[in-house]
Structure 1
């Protein structure tokens, strides 16, 4: 009887321990605690380097290209982001789901002096579209702000008709392998293409990491 009780107790302890670990992993899939970093390099409207995490891709927002391809409002968005980061007294990051993308970039929400930078970019009309690889903590709020920016015709939307742009571009049926810029390439390959792919062009590999037009 005592042996049976010991076995049952051991099973219960193991189960509780497993539940605790699993819950901890699950908690990481939600927006985590903010942590303070410093800017080391600003790349463009949605990418920067920070201490502790290295190259970081801002969660959910996609601003126009501003380096090799000069898309409308690309430089404006980049200048705004870099200005906000450089003058910020305090920069904080926040994880929300997977911490890395397939290009090994850190995925984060970015806070500048207590304000969510992604939210500011959307309000200014500098976010072209959203990339949705999961459910994010501030997703619904950003979608509402995007619709408001479109309605008010600010930034990118100043010369465009208001339309819903919170969905990922769908891949059309085409055999085209040569593209003028990343905007055109992403209509066919939404996440970019690796070196060796028929559509890869080194001119579109802005960070020279062997992947062109990645998000």
Structure 2
């Protein structure tokens, strides 16, 4: 019995050693598996360079640029078809012909059914035809209300980066008019431009009392313009002492001599009057 004890002890020690080796061998695959999982995570977080390049190549194209905009609204592309007069024209817009009436400005009439051609109306039309030639690409800017009672498109017209409404005002070919809210975006700057043209006396502002708040008044302007001339022609007659009837034998060789004597104009029946000095035969010599 005493000899068997060391043998059993040795067997037990050998079994324990084998068990320990088996445990260590079983644990090693777990470590490798964890390492592989971590590597897979890193690979997923950082895609390969080839994949990134593919994404950049297949990125969606940028959309077409939006229509040009002003500080107040969108500009719509159009083409000039024809010019009616200074403030009215026809355009092709979205494949359709439209009549455009310029906002906040009014040019003198040239084709009104009940009004004659007004001063500077032809000049305004000619200027419009010069700038807005057929086929010219322009841009339309709509205010709040789109159309008037006649169905015309109410707009500010842009050409080559400039507003045509303002160009008319600058040259004195239009007045600020038809100021009806809500279509009043540019009314203040329009009035400022008009004031400069008035001060310079260009175009319609060169005729006194012609362009007024309620429209154009060619007859009134012509009447008021003629009145000072009439008063000036009558003033010398009233102040100059005419020869008396006793000097009815006075004759003047020509109007220069009569003017030097201070008696012009000479009416028929007055001393110094003669038919040869009254060339138009209206009874007034040396007018």
* TMscore range, shorter length: 0.5 to 0.7
| Correspondence for 2:87 | 46
The answer to whether the Cα contact below 8 Å between 2:88 and 2:100 also exists between their aligned partners in 1 is: yes
Q: CA deviation at 1:149?
A: 0.5
| Correspondence for 2:162 | 115
Q: CA deviation at 1:159?
A: 2.6
Distance in 1 (CA, whole Å) between partners of 2:192 and 2:153 is: 26
Largest Rg, 1 or 2: 2
Given the alignment, which residue of 118, 135, 157 partners 1:71? 118
The answer to whether the Cα contact below 8 Å between 1:31 and 1:95 also exists between their aligned partners in 2 is: no
Distance in 1 (CA, whole Å) between partners of 2:105 and 2:194 is: 10
| Correspondence for 1:7 | none
Aligned-partner SS, 2:158: strand
2:204 is equivalent to residue 156 of structure 1: yes
| Correspondence for 2:276 | none
The answer to whether the Cα contact below 8 Å between 2:80 and 2:134 also exists between their aligned partners in 1 is: no
Distance in 1 (CA, whole Å) between partners of 2:83 and 2:159 is: 14
- Deviation per CA, 1:170-209: give whole Å up to 9, x if none: 9xxxxxxxxxxx969xxxxxxxxxxxxxxxxxxxxxxxxx
Given the alignment, which residue of 170, 189, 192 partners 1:144? 192
2:175 is equivalent to residue 128 of structure 1: yes
Please provide the CA RMSD for this pair.
2.6
Distance in 1 (CA, whole Å) between partners of 2:76 and 2:130 is: 21
Distance in 1 (CA, whole Å) between partners of 2:125 and 2:178 is: 18
Structure 2: 5+ residue stretches without partners: 1-70, 219-287
Distance in 2 (CA, whole Å) between partners of 1:107 and 1:159 is: 29
Aligned-partner SS, 2:165: helix
Cα gap change, 1:153/1:161 in structure 2, threshold over 3 Å: closer, same or farther?
farther
Given the alignment, which residue of 71, 75, 78 partners 1:37? 78
Structure 1: 5+ residue stretches without partners: 1-29, 171-181, 185-215
The answer to whether the Cα contact below 8 Å between 1:153 and 1:162 also exists between their aligned partners in 2 is: no
Cα gap change, 1:116/1:88 in structure 2, threshold over 3 Å: closer, same or farther?
farther
2:107 is equivalent to residue 59 of structure 1: no
Aligned-partner SS, 1:56: strand
**Normalised by the size of structure 2, how large is the TM-score?**
0.45
Structure that is richer in helix per residue: 2
Count residues in correspondence. 141
The answer to whether the Cα contact below 8 Å between 1:77 and 1:126 also exists between their aligned partners in 2 is: yes
Given the alignment, which residue of 97, 107, 110 partners 2:144? 97
**Normalised by the size of structure 1, how large is the TM-score?**
0.59
